[in-house]
Amino acid sequence: MWKLQALVVHILLMGSILSTYFQPTILPNLVPQKTMSEMGLEPPANRLVVFVTDGLRAASFLANNGSDVPDLKDIYRKQGRIGISRTCAPTMTRPGHIAIFGGFNEDPAAALVNFRYNPSDFDTVFNRSRHMIGWAHRYIVDYFNTLPHGGAPLRFDSYMERELPKKLSCDKWAFDKVANFLTNGDNVREWRNYKPSVFLVYLADMDIAGHRFRPLSEEFFKRLQHTQRGIRNTYELFERVFNDSRTAYLMTSDHGMNNEGFHGGGSSFEVEIPLFMWGAGVRREEIDLEANFPRKPNISQVDQSQLAPLMSALIGLPPPMNNLAMMPVGYLNVSDEYEAVALHLNVLQLLSQAQILIRRHEKAMFYKWLPKFKELHLDLIDQYAPQFDFLKAEGNLTEAMEMCQEFGKLAKQCLEYYHEYYQIPLIVSTSLSYLIWFYCLLLQLTRLSKKEKVPRRGYMTFSTLILVMIGILVITMLELQNVPHITAFYLILPVGMLIMAQAERPVKGYWILHPLWNFGFILLPAVLMMSMAFIIKHLWMLYGISVLLNNRRALRKPSMKLFIWLCLALLVAIMLFVEQRIRKGLRNVPLKDFHVLYISMVLAIIRPLILGHRHDLRVWTFNTVAMLAGAYGVYQYMVYEESVSPYVYAVTWSFLFFAFLSIAYFAKSLPEARKRLQLITINMVTVLSLLTNSWSCLNVQIVITEFIFGLEVYEQSKRTKETEVVEDERKSLKNLKDFYRYGYMILLYFFVAFFLAGHWLSSFLFKSTAARLFYPHFSLYIAGSLVMLKILLPSLICICVLYAMVPFVRKNSRSILICAFLISDAMGLYKYYFVRNRGSWKRIRTCLDQILLTHAVNFMLLGGLCLAKIFLCNTTMEKPERKRTRTSRSTLAADETEA
Ligand SMILES: *[C@@H]1O[C@H](CO)[C@@H](O)[C@H](O)[C@H]1NC(C)=O
Ligand SMILES: *[C@@H]1O[C@H](CO)[C@@H](O)[C@H](O)[C@H]1NC(C)=O
Ligand SMILES: *[C@@H]1O[C@H](CO)[C@@H](O)[C@H](O)[C@H]1NC(C)=O
Ligand SMILES: *[C@@H]1O[C@H](CO)[C@@H](O)[C@H](O)[C@H]1NC(C)=O
Ligand SMILES: *[C@@H]1O[C@H](CO)[C@@H](O)[C@H](O)[C@H]1NC(C)=O
Ligand SMILES: *[C@@H]1O[C@H](CO)[C@@H](O)[C@H](O)[C@H]1NC(C)=O
């Protein structure tokens, strides 16, 4: 029950945080503006062909005056213009496509949580044109296909990578499909009549090649050659078939790629992507005689979302209804009037969105007394269109365009203002929710640490009634104020939390024991951990000091075990230092990734042998076979162009199930906690080795070994110096200290393992290779879940170790988890005030990831504890106190093998 409560509360808190900063901003019930023909102007082009080269960055395209894209350079000699388009958001495929064709930047939260699913419907250039056909990967198709189309369904021809005969033949597939389509006379006759029409040619190979070979490799340039030649051939085919000089072409990417072959972050390699426009209606820039490609300071730049209004204007359409960008001026070879009117439509469409928000606020009950956006109001919006018409009739077009720009800017500011209107109330209410949650947890902690069990008050109290009435009152007021429902929900969340917290109060007596001590115990670790892990990045120091302090008593009595433990702790500290403080971390060690992996696999077998673990023969066999298959798979993956034989998949998947099920299966025969722990450890380490690319499995094994040794050293030193009878008051404080000690320890080891496993915190992108031994293609869900599993496993083992070896932990697991929650929630709350949702994308990503991580910890610990309880149910712990106090150093060797 309490687990469910913790789970739900943490989900709500996380939702509250995300809704503060990352609410969907798409407005419903918009209507499209008029088309250019309806405004009496002939568009310069009838059809638009868009080539989207996934993952091609501007740097690769523009390098060496375009000698890497000779065929496109040929085109550029005669016509067209080249620029840079700047993406934003996480530089990923989905946000990129939505920005290009929808004209706005998708909320990062929506992208992160849903990825495949549109939180709300949005309009696109495709839908505006009413006639579109595309050839694309099924992922891309899924972004657009489910949107309502009002009677003009989008036509797509799609594929999945696994359906293609060869790797890296996506582009060939697309070019062939286009060629097939256009060589059919019926199709051409049909599409010649469609005005305007849009063709999408999605080219996936550049992205795949970039990931696989990295953008500076020979192989990558070979693929680039192929792709750019295909674009030229397709262009020539279109020109041949339609032969009316009424086709415009646009080539761009959804995102770039850095030199390491990743994207998602905000470096200029990832953000800057090429924009090449040519064909009908494109205004050419001044170029030099040799048609050299323009270079950085002089090259024209647009935002990626500006492409949507630009493309619309090119074929005479109004911008997509949800578009939030202004069309860049000077890109079209059209009359001044045409450009002014296109801009006008663009502004009208922005104003119509602003209008919705202003109306919504004006209708609200308390509008008069609340702050508002003064620069733009409904009257001013009403004056805009007549003023534009007047200026246009006067022939004063420059003036008209200046006014357009002015109003466009105002409309955008207004939209932004009202979108963030409830941000501060949300921040306040989220903080309150957090504080109440702390209060609730502390009440629980107090109740748990009391000897005599005092019952909780429960929900049937007077305060519940009052709070419910307050809640209803607030809801009514929020409803009258027209607050969006999600916002309203999180605004009243504190009331709900307070009802829950009140119910936790004891029937009589104390509230919270030792409030100051609690405060200190929460704050100190939270501050230290936050600053050391994320801000000044010296986690190694925190780790070293923590473990030494923890075992300070043992240091006075040197022993072999202590020495081994010290060495291991030193090793972990050094590795942490290297990983966090030195560029490229452990990769500086001159060992190939797969060598490290092989070493860690060998260690996974040798470690239990050295430590004298005894396992069933079947366990040894299965683990060894799984690791051999894994090693073979890794080898295959390297040698045979990333294909792994199906047998390996079969083995890895069966082992994954075996690893978890076997623990239940052998449970009967392993009644001692230690024995079962050994089984859990070996199985989980093997799973980890199958999920690893290079260092993480080795590191995690070292950390676990260190952890177990440290714990044993600690327990021994405690036992020899057990001060028995303490008075009740002191005892409860001591217990409290121990709760926090173990809570902190679990968290600390989570972060140590997290950083040592080399998870990259600044893009929550999954390295697709984490699942290479499980699944041949990249799939978000499978790869994502496996990465989560990989992050969870070290903590799971640590919790199991504590649960199996320390009676105190087993007895007080809930209190300890509560302490861990308190600490990590304090970290999460702190981070909450520093989330940025504007500005540099790298910062935004980092904030978001840290927020998500500080919450993910809670879920993982909760899950880890549940699993540990299941794994270790019905086990007996050795009761060594009496016996061990007599064991002296001479019997330590025997002791060790037993471990
Ligand atoms: C190409 O660019 C380089 C500098 O990047 C420049 O020196 C050279 O003149 C350009 N033109 C040709 C034809 O290579
Ligand atoms: C697509 O266009 C039609 C017709 O204008 C419109 O009814 C429909 O709402 C649009 N779809 C979206 C998702 O806006
Ligand atoms: C294109 O059409 C024109 C007449 O409109 C014709 O003279 C020309 O040969 C055609 N070109 C091609 C390549 O078919
Ligand atoms: C605009 O298009 C016309 C043909 O329609 C062409 O002659 C002219 O050079 C183009 N101007 C620019 C700047 O591209
Ligand atoms: C940018 O343009 C100016 C003049 O328009 C020219 O002198 C300068 O060389 C250009 N810079 C580059 C890097 O092309
Ligand atoms: C354009 O309008 C401004 C004032 O709105 C006026 O000063 C200017 O003379 C006008 N220009 C032309 C060419 O009509």
Query: What residue's CA is closest to ligand 6, atom 4?
Result: 399
Closest to 711 in 3D by CA, of 804, 591, 812, 840? 804
The answer to whether 135 and 157 are in contact (CB under 8 A) is: yes
- Give the ligand at the shortest distance from the Cα of 65: 1
- Using alpha carbons, select from 401, 403, 400, 351 the residue that is nearest to residue 377: 351
Judged by average pLDDT, the poorest of 150-164, 171-185, 575-589 is 575-589
Would you state the pLDDT for residue 393? 92
Is residue 432 within a helix (H) or strand (E), and if so which, with residue range? helix 423-449
Nearest CA to ligand 5 atom 13: 295
Highest mean pLDDT among 232-241, 361-370, 641-650, 666-675: 232-241
pLDDT of residue 833: 87
Fill in the DSSP letter of residue 506. B
- Work out the pLDDT band at 103, boundaries 50, 70, 90: very high
Mean pLDDT in residue range 371-385:
91
- The stretch 518-531 carries a mean pLDDT of 87
Q: Of 189, 185, 184, 162, which Cα lies nearest the Cα of 173? A: 162
Identity at 744, one-letter amino acid code: Y
Looking at the CA of residue 239, tell me the nearest atom of ligand 3: 13
Give pLDDT tens digits for 548-558.
888 888 888 88
657-669 confidence digits (pLDDT tens): 998 898 888 888 8
What is the pLDDT, as a whole number, of residue 769? 63
Task: Decide: 176 in ligand 2 pocket, CB within 6 A.
Answer: no
Q: How far is CA 473 from CA 363, 368, 423, 478, 493, in A?
A: 19, 20, 21, 9, 14
Residue 62 structure tokens:
């523009």
- Which helix (DSSP H) or strand (DSSP E) does residue 356 occupy? helix 336-362
Confidence category of residue 886, pLDDT binned at 50, 70, 90 = very low
φ, ψ for residue 718 (rounded to 5)? -70, -45
Q: What is the pLDDT of residues 787-815, one digit of tens each?
A: 888 888 999 999 999 888 888 888 888 88
Q: Is the CB of 550 under 6 A from ligand 6?
A: no
Query: Per the structure block, which two tokens stand in for 589?
Result: 């060690």
Q: Is 150 in the pocket of ligand 2 (CB under 6 A)?
A: yes
Across the range 622-635, mean pLDDT stands at: 90
HSE, side-chain direction, 13 A CA sphere, residue 36: 29
Q: How far is the CA of 73 from the centre of ligand 4 (A)?
A: 19
Band (pLDDT 50/70/90 cuts) for residue 885 is: very low
**CA 187 to each of CA 160, 179, 638: distance values in angstroms, whole numbers, following the listed order:** 25, 11, 44
Find the mean pLDDT for residues 873-882: 64
Which residues are within 8 A (CB) of 741 and not within 5 positions of it... i.e. 6 or more apart?
Answer: 550
Q: Which residues contact 691 (CB under 8 A, 6 or more apart)?
A: 697, 770, 771, 773, 786, 787, 789, 790
Output the pLDDT for position 114. 44
pLDDT tens digits, residue range 281-318?
A: 999 987 777 778 888 888 999 999 999 999 999 999 99
Measured CA to CA in angstroms, residue 484 lies from 24, 119, 351, 489 at distances of: 11, 15, 21, 9
The residues, ordered by sequence, that sit 6+ positions from 834 with a Cβ below 8 Å of its Cβ are: 847
Look at ligand 6, atom 9, and give the residue with the nearest C-alpha: 396
198 phi, psi to nearest 5 deg: -125, 135
**Residues in Cβ contact with 410 at an 8 Å cutoff, skipping those fewer than 6 apart:** 354, 375, 376
Among 446, 395, 467, 196, residue whose Cα is nearest residue 313? 196
pLDDT of residue 762: 41
Ligand 1: residues whose CB is within 6 Å?
Answer: 65, 290, 292
From the alpha carbon of 322, which atom of ligand 2 is closest?
Answer: 14
How far, in Å, CA of 114 to CA of 562, rounded? 49
pLDDT in tens, 106-120: 765 565 554 456 667
Q: Give the Cβ contact number of residue 78 at 10 Å.
A: 9
Q: List CB contacts of 760: < 8 A, sequence separation 6 or more.
A: none
> Ligand 6 atom closest to Cα of 398?
1
Per-residue pLDDT, 879: 54
In this structure, is the dihedral angle defined by the CA atoms of residues 879, 883, 889 and 891, taken in order, positive or negative? negative
Does residue 609 surpass a pLDDT of 80? yes
Asked if pLDDT for residue 276 goes beyond 90, the answer is yes
**b/e map of 401-436 (b: 16 or more CB within 10 Å)?**
bebbeebbebbbebbebbebbbeeebbebbebbbeb
Closest Cα to atom 6, ligand 4: which residue?
A: 333
Alpha-carbon distance of 661 to 687, in angstroms, equals 13
Order of all β-strands in the sheet with 272-279? 155-159, 132-137, 197-203, 47-53, 247-252, 272-279, 81-86, 300-303
Instruction: Return the percent helix, strand and coil in the chain, to nearest 5.
Output: 65, 5, 30
Torsion of CA 207, 211, 212, 215, to 10 degrees: 80
- Find the mean pLDDT for residues 449-478: 85
Cβ neighbours, 10 Å, residue 62: 21
From 423, 435, 441, select the one nearest 491 (Cα to Cα): 423
Position 406 scores a pLDDT of 94
Among protein residues, the one whose CA lies closest to atom 7 of ligand 2: 150
Q: What is the DSSP string of 193-232?
A: H-SSEEEEEEE-HHHHHHHHH-TTSHHHHHHHHHHHHHHH
Tell me the average pLDDT across 484-492: 90
What is the per-residue burial (b if ≥16 Cβ within 10 Å, else e) of 750-773?
bbbbbbbbbbeebbbbbbbbbbbb
Cis peptide before 119 (omega within 30 of 0): no
Answer whether 301's CB lies under 8 Å from 316's CB: no
Q: Higher confidence at residue 148 or residue 763?
A: 148
Q: Is the CB of 243 under 6 A from ligand 3?
A: yes
Q: What is the pLDDT of residue 109?
A: 58
Give the integer Cα–Cα distance in Å for 518 and 526. Answer: 12
Distance (Å, whole) CA 615 – CA 522: 41
Q: What pLDDT is stored for residue 841 in this prediction?
A: 58
Instruction: Report whether pLDDT(754) > 70.
Output: yes
- So what's the pLDDT on residue 713? 87
Amino acid identity of residue 708, one-letter, is I
Per the CB < 8 A criterion, the answer to whether 83 and 299 are in contact is: yes
Closest atom, ligand 4, to C-alpha of 44: 5
Contacts 24+ apart (CB under 8 A), 630-636: 630/601, 630/689, 630/690, 630/773, 631/597, 631/598, 631/601, 633/772, 633/773, 634/594, 634/597, 634/772, 634/773, 635/594
3-state secondary structure of 673: helix
DSSP sequence for 316-331: T-PPPTT---PPPTT-
The model's pLDDT over 692-711, given as tens digits with 9 standing for 90+, comes to 877 888 888 999 999 998 88
**Region 170-174 average pLDDT:** 94
Contact 57, 209 (CB under 8 A): no
Q: What is the DSSP string of 75-137?
A: HHHHS-EEEEEE--SS--HHHHHHHHHHSSPPPHHHHHHTSSS-SS----HHHHHS-EEEEEE
Query: Which ligand 3 atom sits nearest the alpha carbon of residue 243?
Result: 1
Indicate if the pLDDT at residue 229 is higher than 70: yes
> Residue 898 has what pLDDT?
32
Q: Which two three-digit tokens encode residue 399?
A: 């003036």
Proximal ligand: closest to the CA of 150: 2
* Closest C-alpha among 292, 301, 231, 332 to residue 77: 292
pLDDT 10s digits, 379-414: 999 999 999 999 999 988 999 999 999 999 999 999
Mean pLDDT of 626-633: 90
Both tokens assigned to 705: 């070994």
Mean of the pLDDT values across residues 332-354? 94
> b/e map of 688-706 (b: 16 or more CB within 10 Å)?
bbbbbbbbbbbbbbbbbbb
**Residue whose CA is at the smallest distance from ligand 1 atom 9:** 292
What pLDDT is recorded for position 721? 55
Among 677, 843, 861, 835, CA closest to 753? 861
Q: Is the pLDDT of residue 534 over 80?
A: yes
Q: Are strands 197-203 and 272-279 parallel, antiparallel or unpaired?
A: unpaired
| Ligand 2 centroid – CA 124 distance (Å) | 9
What's the chain's average pLDDT?
86
pLDDT of residue 850: 81
pTM, full prediction: 0.77
Atom of ligand 3 nearest to the CA of 240: 13
pLDDT attached to residue 837 = 67
Rounded to the nearest whole angstrom, what is the distance from the C-alpha of residue 243 to the centroid of ligand 3?
A: 6
Task: Give 895's pLDDT tier (boundaries 50, 70, 90).
Answer: very low
